[in-house]
Amino acid sequence: MSDSVTRPKTKPKVRTERPKLHKVILVNDDFTPREFVVRVLKAEFRMSEDQAHNIMITAHRRGVCVVAVFMRDVAETKATRATDAGKAAGYPLLFTTEPEE
């Protein structure tokens, strides 16, 4: 009987690329009170009052603002939780996510 060795057909590749980070983006609207946006940013993204105010006012003036970057699942969870906090209070506050280039 001949000894046979089963080898993988392809050489295992070492993955050197890092998984992409994903941006959480705050979208402006005409209804959510500024203080409420600041409160959600502080609670969900652990920001100071100043940091949260700067992000809120940038979204208010420009339409959108990048809040922070995370691994994809963390970004999606935070965006959903923050959007749901607005929904629960009756506001159309929206956070989206987008992969970084």
Would you say 17 or 30 has its CB closer to ligand TYC?
Answer: 30
Residue 50 in tokens: 């100043």
Compute CA 20 distance to the chain's CA centroid, rounded to the nearest angstrom. 12
User: 1: which DSSP letter?
Assistant: -
| Binding flag, residue 52, ligand TYC (CB under 6 A) | no
Site string for ligand TYC, 9-28 (x = CB under 6 A): -----------------xxx
Would you say 70 or 95 has its CB closer to ligand TYC?
Answer: 95
| Binding flag, residue 59, ligand TYC (CB under 6 A) | yes
Interface pick for ligand TYC out of 39, 42, 53, 60 (rule CB under 6 A): 60
**Neighbouring residues of 65: CB distance < 8 A, sequence distance ≥ 6:** 25, 26, 55, 56, 58, 59
Phi, psi of 29 (to 5 degrees): -150, 170
| Binding flag, residue 79, ligand TYC (CB under 6 A) | no
Length of the chain measured in residues: 101
| Binding flag, residue 32, ligand TYC (CB under 6 A) | yes
| Binding flag, residue 42, ligand TYC (CB under 6 A) | no
